[in-house]
Protein backbone atom coordinates (compact mmCIF):
# COMPACT_ATOMS: atom_id res chain seq x y z
CA UNK A 1 0.00 0.00 0.00
CA UNK A 2 1.11 3.50 -0.82
CA UNK A 3 -1.95 5.55 0.08
CA UNK A 4 -4.89 5.05 2.48
CA UNK A 5 -8.09 7.11 2.64
CA UNK A 6 -9.91 7.73 5.94
CA UNK A 7 -13.54 8.75 6.40
CA UNK A 8 -15.37 9.26 9.69
CA UNK A 9 -18.84 9.84 11.03
CA UNK A 10 -19.28 13.58 11.27
CA UNK A 11 -18.34 15.09 14.67
CA UNK A 12 -17.98 11.74 16.43
CA UNK A 13 -15.93 12.26 19.62
CA UNK A 14 -13.72 9.19 19.05
CA UNK A 15 -12.95 9.90 15.40
CA UNK A 16 -10.15 12.42 16.06
CA UNK A 17 -8.13 10.13 18.34
CA UNK A 18 -8.45 7.12 16.03
CA UNK A 19 -7.64 9.15 12.91
CA UNK A 20 -4.45 10.44 14.56
CA UNK A 21 -3.49 6.87 15.53
CA UNK A 22 -3.97 5.75 11.92
CA UNK A 23 -1.90 8.65 10.58
CA UNK A 24 0.96 8.00 13.00
CA UNK A 25 1.02 4.23 12.37
CA UNK A 26 1.04 4.52 8.58
CA UNK A 27 3.53 7.40 8.63
CA UNK A 28 6.09 5.05 10.18
CA UNK A 29 5.68 2.82 7.12
CA UNK A 30 5.86 5.74 4.63
CA UNK A 31 2.22 5.23 3.70
CA UNK A 32 0.37 8.45 2.91
CA UNK A 33 -3.00 9.02 4.61
CA UNK A 34 -5.70 11.10 2.90
CA UNK A 35 -8.36 12.42 5.29
CA UNK A 36 -11.70 13.64 4.02
CA UNK A 37 -12.23 17.37 4.51
CA UNK A 38 -14.29 17.46 7.70
CA UNK A 39 -12.07 14.88 9.43
CA UNK A 40 -8.91 16.76 8.43
CA UNK A 41 -10.36 19.92 9.96
CA UNK A 42 -11.31 18.03 13.12
CA UNK A 43 -7.74 16.75 13.68
CA UNK A 44 -6.12 20.06 12.74
CA UNK A 45 -4.63 19.06 9.39
CA UNK A 46 -4.43 21.82 6.81
CA UNK A 47 -4.89 19.55 3.81
CA UNK A 48 -8.09 17.56 3.42
CA UNK A 49 -9.73 15.93 0.43
CA UNK A 50 -13.25 15.93 -0.97
CA UNK A 51 -15.06 12.67 -0.20
CA UNK A 52 -15.64 11.86 -3.86
CA UNK A 53 -11.97 12.42 -4.79
CA UNK A 54 -10.36 10.00 -2.33
CA UNK A 55 -11.26 6.55 -3.79
CA UNK A 56 -9.44 7.18 -7.08
CA UNK A 57 -6.19 7.96 -5.25
CA UNK A 58 -5.90 5.22 -2.60
CA UNK A 59 -5.27 1.50 -2.22
CA UNK A 60 -7.47 1.09 0.88
CA UNK A 61 -10.26 2.99 2.63
CA UNK A 62 -10.84 3.03 6.40
CA UNK A 63 -14.25 4.12 7.71
CA UNK A 64 -14.66 5.24 11.34
CA UNK A 65 -18.33 5.11 12.23
CA UNK A 66 -21.34 2.87 11.99
CA UNK A 67 -22.91 0.88 9.18
CA UNK A 68 -24.63 3.99 7.80
CA UNK A 69 -21.30 5.78 7.37
CA UNK A 70 -19.77 2.74 5.68
CA UNK A 71 -22.72 2.36 3.29
CA UNK A 72 -22.38 6.01 2.29
CA UNK A 73 -18.66 5.55 1.62
CA UNK A 74 -19.33 2.36 -0.37
CA UNK A 75 -21.36 4.44 -2.83
CA UNK A 76 -18.44 6.89 -3.09
CA UNK A 77 -16.01 4.05 -3.82
CA UNK A 78 -18.35 2.68 -6.51
CA UNK A 79 -16.51 0.74 -9.20
CA UNK A 80 -13.01 1.56 -7.91
CA UNK A 81 -12.69 -1.93 -6.35
CA UNK A 82 -10.88 -0.47 -3.32
CA UNK A 83 -11.10 -2.56 -0.11
CA UNK A 84 -12.94 -0.92 2.80
CA UNK A 85 -12.22 -1.52 6.48
CA UNK A 86 -15.08 -0.56 8.79
CA UNK A 87 -14.25 0.41 12.39
CA UNK A 88 -17.36 0.34 14.56
CA UNK A 89 -18.07 3.54 16.47
CA UNK A 90 -21.80 2.88 16.46
CA UNK A 91 -24.06 0.37 18.17
CA UNK A 92 -25.11 -2.44 15.80
CA UNK A 93 -22.24 -2.83 13.35
CA UNK A 94 -23.05 -5.66 10.93
CA UNK A 95 -20.61 -4.18 8.39
CA UNK A 96 -18.19 -2.30 10.64
CA UNK A 97 -16.75 -5.43 12.23
CA UNK A 98 -13.56 -4.10 13.85
CA UNK A 99 -13.84 -2.48 17.30
CA UNK A 100 -11.80 0.46 18.58
CA UNK A 101 -9.65 -1.87 20.69
CA UNK A 102 -8.97 -4.18 17.74
CA UNK A 103 -7.86 -1.37 15.43
CA UNK A 104 -4.10 -1.24 16.32
CA UNK A 105 -3.65 -4.97 15.63
CA UNK A 106 -5.73 -4.65 12.45
CA UNK A 107 -3.48 -1.85 11.18
CA UNK A 108 -0.49 -4.17 11.58
CA UNK A 109 -2.24 -6.83 9.50
CA UNK A 110 -3.10 -4.29 6.81
CA UNK A 111 0.53 -3.18 6.56
CA UNK A 112 1.63 -6.82 6.30
CA UNK A 113 -1.04 -7.50 3.66
CA UNK A 114 -2.38 -10.27 5.89
CA UNK A 115 -6.15 -9.78 5.64
CA UNK A 116 -9.22 -11.27 3.95
CA UNK A 117 -11.81 -9.44 1.88
CA UNK A 118 -15.51 -10.22 1.47
CA UNK A 119 -16.85 -9.39 -1.98
CA UNK A 120 -20.35 -7.86 -1.72
CA UNK A 121 -22.93 -7.47 -4.46
CA UNK A 122 -24.39 -4.02 -5.19
CA UNK A 123 -27.51 -2.93 -7.07
CA UNK A 124 -28.22 -0.36 -9.78
CA UNK A 125 -31.65 1.26 -9.62
CA UNK A 126 -33.07 3.36 -12.45
CA UNK A 127 -36.24 5.44 -12.31
CA UNK A 128 -38.08 5.59 -15.65
CA UNK A 129 -40.61 8.34 -16.28
CA UNK A 130 -42.42 8.75 -19.60
CA UNK A 131 -39.76 6.71 -21.39
CA UNK A 132 -36.81 8.60 -19.91
CA UNK A 133 -34.38 7.74 -17.10
CA UNK A 134 -34.77 10.50 -14.49
CA UNK A 135 -32.62 8.94 -11.76
CA UNK A 136 -29.88 6.34 -11.34
CA UNK A 137 -28.51 5.05 -8.03
CA UNK A 138 -25.97 2.41 -7.01
CA UNK A 139 -26.59 0.88 -3.59
CA UNK A 140 -25.06 -1.63 -1.22
CA UNK A 141 -28.05 -2.40 1.03
CA UNK A 142 -31.43 -1.82 -0.55
CA UNK A 143 -33.84 0.07 -2.73
CA UNK A 144 -37.14 1.00 -1.06
CA UNK A 145 -40.45 2.30 -2.37
CA UNK A 146 -42.70 3.51 0.43
CA UNK A 147 -45.63 5.78 1.09
CA UNK A 148 -45.74 9.01 3.03
CA UNK A 149 -47.09 9.13 6.57
CA UNK A 150 -50.72 9.76 5.56
CA UNK A 151 -50.73 8.10 2.15
CA UNK A 152 -52.90 5.14 1.22
CA UNK A 153 -51.73 1.69 0.15
CA UNK A 154 -49.59 1.68 -3.01
CA UNK A 155 -50.29 -0.62 -5.97
CA UNK A 156 -46.92 -1.88 -7.26
CA UNK A 157 -47.06 -3.97 -10.43
CA UNK A 158 -43.89 -6.04 -10.21
CA UNK A 159 -42.18 -8.19 -12.84
CA UNK A 160 -38.99 -10.28 -12.91
CA UNK A 161 -37.20 -10.56 -16.26
CA UNK A 162 -40.35 -9.39 -18.00
CA UNK A 163 -42.55 -12.00 -16.31
CA UNK A 164 -45.33 -10.82 -14.01
CA UNK A 165 -44.57 -11.54 -10.34
CA UNK A 166 -47.39 -9.81 -8.45
CA UNK A 167 -49.33 -6.59 -8.11
CA UNK A 168 -48.32 -5.86 -4.54
CA UNK A 169 -50.78 -3.77 -2.56
CA UNK A 170 -48.76 -2.65 0.43
CA UNK A 171 -47.17 0.23 2.29
CA UNK A 172 -44.10 -0.29 0.14
CA UNK A 173 -41.60 -2.71 -1.36
CA UNK A 174 -37.93 -3.45 -0.63
CA UNK A 175 -35.39 -4.91 -3.04
CA UNK A 176 -32.26 -5.79 -1.10
CA UNK A 177 -28.88 -7.37 -1.59
CA UNK A 178 -27.70 -10.18 0.69
CA UNK A 179 -25.76 -7.52 2.63
CA UNK A 180 -28.99 -5.56 3.07
CA UNK A 181 -30.94 -8.64 4.13
CA UNK A 182 -30.16 -7.87 7.80
CA UNK A 183 -31.51 -4.31 7.47
CA UNK A 184 -34.94 -3.00 6.55
CA UNK A 185 -35.75 -6.21 4.66
CA UNK A 186 -35.31 -8.25 7.85
CA UNK A 187 -37.60 -5.88 9.76
CA UNK A 188 -40.23 -6.40 7.03
CA UNK A 189 -40.05 -10.19 7.46
CA UNK A 190 -37.44 -10.99 4.83
CA UNK A 191 -34.86 -13.79 5.15
CA UNK A 192 -31.27 -13.47 6.31
CA UNK A 193 -29.06 -14.30 3.32
CA UNK A 194 -25.38 -15.22 3.64
CA UNK A 195 -23.61 -12.12 2.27
CA UNK A 196 -21.53 -13.81 -0.43
CA UNK A 197 -24.53 -15.53 -2.04
CA UNK A 198 -25.42 -13.35 -5.03
CA UNK A 199 -29.19 -12.86 -5.25
CA UNK A 200 -31.92 -10.25 -4.84
CA UNK A 201 -34.56 -10.28 -2.10
CA UNK A 202 -37.99 -8.74 -2.77
CA UNK A 203 -39.90 -7.97 0.46
CA UNK A 204 -43.29 -6.22 0.64
CA UNK A 205 -43.84 -3.81 3.53
CA UNK A 206 -47.08 -4.48 5.43
CA UNK A 207 -48.83 -6.11 2.45
CA UNK A 208 -52.62 -5.93 2.29
CA UNK A 209 -52.75 -9.64 1.38
CA UNK A 210 -51.45 -12.06 4.03
CA UNK A 211 -50.35 -14.44 1.26
CA UNK A 212 -47.76 -11.95 -0.03
CA UNK A 213 -44.36 -13.08 1.21
CA UNK A 214 -40.71 -12.15 0.48
CA UNK A 215 -39.12 -13.91 -2.46
CA UNK A 216 -35.46 -14.52 -3.39
CA UNK A 217 -34.56 -14.31 -7.09
CA UNK A 218 -31.47 -15.01 -9.19
CA UNK A 219 -28.56 -12.55 -9.14
CA UNK A 220 -28.97 -11.63 -12.83
CA UNK A 221 -32.70 -10.96 -12.56
CA UNK A 222 -34.05 -7.58 -13.64
CA UNK A 223 -36.89 -6.39 -11.42
CA UNK A 224 -39.33 -3.75 -12.64
CA UNK A 225 -41.85 -2.07 -10.33
CA UNK A 226 -44.54 0.20 -11.75
CA UNK A 227 -46.13 2.35 -9.07
CA UNK A 228 -49.81 3.26 -9.26
CA UNK A 229 -51.37 5.73 -6.83
CA UNK A 230 -53.49 8.87 -6.76
CA UNK A 231 -53.00 12.14 -4.91
CA UNK A 232 -50.54 10.63 -2.45
CA UNK A 233 -46.85 11.01 -1.60
CA UNK A 234 -44.64 8.04 -2.53
CA UNK A 235 -40.87 8.00 -2.10
CA UNK A 236 -37.96 6.10 -3.59
CA UNK A 237 -34.93 5.74 -1.29
CA UNK A 238 -31.51 4.22 -1.89
CA UNK A 239 -29.74 2.75 1.16
CA UNK A 240 -32.09 4.84 3.30
CA UNK A 241 -29.88 7.87 2.62
CA UNK A 242 -30.73 9.41 -0.76
CA UNK A 243 -33.81 9.40 -2.95
CA UNK A 244 -36.69 11.32 -4.47
CA UNK A 245 -40.45 11.49 -4.84
CA UNK A 246 -42.11 9.21 -7.36
CA UNK A 247 -44.97 10.12 -9.69
CA UNK A 248 -47.87 7.85 -10.68
CA UNK A 249 -46.77 5.53 -13.50
CA UNK A 250 -43.06 5.71 -12.69
CA UNK A 251 -41.16 2.45 -13.17
CA UNK A 252 -38.29 1.52 -10.86
CA UNK A 253 -35.86 -0.93 -12.47
CA UNK A 254 -33.43 -2.80 -10.20
CA UNK A 255 -30.59 -5.06 -11.31
CA UNK A 256 -27.18 -6.26 -10.18
CA UNK A 257 -24.51 -3.60 -10.52
CA UNK A 258 -21.09 -3.98 -12.08
CA UNK A 259 -19.78 -2.25 -8.96
CA UNK A 260 -18.84 -4.38 -5.96
CA UNK A 261 -18.07 -3.49 -2.36
CA UNK A 262 -14.97 -5.22 -0.97
CA UNK A 263 -15.10 -5.33 2.84
CA UNK A 264 -12.03 -6.18 4.92
CA UNK A 265 -13.02 -8.88 7.41
CA UNK A 266 -12.10 -8.93 11.08
CA UNK A 267 -9.70 -11.86 11.66
CA UNK A 268 -11.29 -12.53 15.06
CA UNK A 269 -14.92 -12.94 13.93
CA UNK A 270 -16.95 -14.88 11.40
CA UNK A 271 -20.33 -13.96 9.94
CA UNK A 272 -22.31 -16.33 12.13
CA UNK A 273 -20.65 -14.99 15.27
CA UNK A 274 -21.68 -11.49 14.20
CA UNK A 275 -25.27 -12.66 13.70
CA UNK A 276 -25.34 -14.33 17.12
CA UNK A 277 -23.92 -11.24 18.81
CA UNK A 278 -25.88 -8.53 17.02
CA UNK A 279 -29.22 -10.36 17.03
CA UNK A 280 -28.77 -11.84 20.53
CA UNK A 281 -29.38 -15.37 19.28
CA UNK A 282 -29.41 -17.95 22.05
CA UNK A 283 -30.47 -15.45 24.71
CA UNK A 284 -33.79 -15.69 26.55
For the question of residue 171 being annotated catalytic, the response is: no
Q: What is the pTM of this model?
A: 0.92
| Alpha helices by DSSP H, 153-213 | 184-187
Digitized pLDDT (tens) for each residue of the chain, 284 residues in all: 899 999 999 888 888 899 999 999 999 999 999 999 999 988 888 789 999 999 999 999 999 999 999 999 999 998 898 999 999 987 767 888 898 899 999 999 999 999 999 999 999 999 999 999 999 999 999 999 999 877 788 999 999 999 999 999 999 999 999 999 999 999 999 999 999 899 999 999 999 988 899 999 999 999 999 999 987 899 999 999 999 999 999 999 999 999 999 999 988 888 898 888 888 887 77
pLDDT reported for residue 204: 97
pLDDT reported for residue 92: 67
- How far is 134 from 130, CA to CA, in rounded Å? 9
- How far is 47 from 152, CA to CA, in rounded Å? 50
pLDDT reported for residue 282: 79
- Cβ burial, residue 2 (10 Å; 0-12/13-18/19+): exposed
pLDDT reported for residue 235: 96
- How far is 46 from 80, CA to CA, in rounded Å? 26
Give the helix/strand (H/E) hosting 63: strand 60-65
- Cβ burial, residue 154 (10 Å; 0-12/13-18/19+): buried
pLDDT reported for residue 13: 84
Give the residue among 183, 157, 184 at the shortest CA–CA distance from 170. 157
CA 42 to each of CA 16, 146, 182, 235: distance values in angstroms, whole numbers, following the listed order: 6, 37, 32, 35
Q: Which of 37, 53, 67, 108 is catalytic?
A: 67
Amino acid sequence: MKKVGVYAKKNHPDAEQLALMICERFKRENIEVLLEDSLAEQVGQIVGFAEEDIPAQVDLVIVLGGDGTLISVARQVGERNVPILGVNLGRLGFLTEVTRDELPAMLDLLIEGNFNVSDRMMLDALIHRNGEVVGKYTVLNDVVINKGALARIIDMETSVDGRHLSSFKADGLIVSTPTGSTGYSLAAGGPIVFPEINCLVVSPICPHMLTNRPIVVWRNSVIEIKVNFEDDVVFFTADGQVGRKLLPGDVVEVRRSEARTRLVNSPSKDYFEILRTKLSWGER
